[in-house]
A = this chain, B = another copy of it.
């Protein structure tokens, strides 16, 4: 059976970098944005649209009223989100079947649970996440610290709601993972090097 490592991560914590470095040390395939690209290809939706849909939770229906009578109407965005999630599950299983790999995000820890992946969650203190986001932001982005913090928190809230909705579990809760890494104080480079020893 292939070795699968999944990486959940708070926004701005460097989870993606840790996953990538880990895959390089181990010679494993690395999947992150590739999953979005593949979903977009199969569903014939734009990558941007798929990116917006995944990691968000939409209400499955909403109420309308005609005269004095209330009806619930299926939310078409939610229907599309469900189709995308089905594709995502399919793609993740294909990737996991192909070779040893590191998969970032996408509820892979839950979707692939029958393959017993090693489940990492990466997080960091807020000042470190602000610093990291500033360093990676495009030059034209001019968020104040307060705006950036609220942006980070909003993305995390979305990820948590999406994870909760799709898995019924609490995002970032230790019981759902094998290892939780705070990237605030130890360089990610060194952490990746050390963690790789767990799989060699």
Chain A interface (Cβ < 8 Å from any Cβ of B): 116, 118, 121, 123, 125, 172, 174-175, 177-182, 184-186, 190-191, 193-198
**Mostly helix, strand, loop or mixed at chain A's interface?**
mixed
B186→A177 contact, CB < 8 A: no
A116, B125: Cα distance in complex, Å = 14
**13 additional contacts (CB under 8 A) given A177-B182, A179-B179, A194-B194:** A172-B174, A174-B174, A174-B180, A178-B182, A178-B186, A179-B180, A186-B198, A190-B197, A190-B198, A194-B195, A194-B197, A194-B198, A197-B197
B186→A123 contact, CB < 8 A: no
A180, B174: Cα distance in complex, Å = 7
A118, B186: Cα distance in complex, Å = 9
Q: Which B-chain residue is minimally distant from A173 (CB atoms)?
A: B174
**Contact for A184 among B178, B193, B195, CB less than 8 A:** B178
B178→A179 contact, CB < 8 A: no
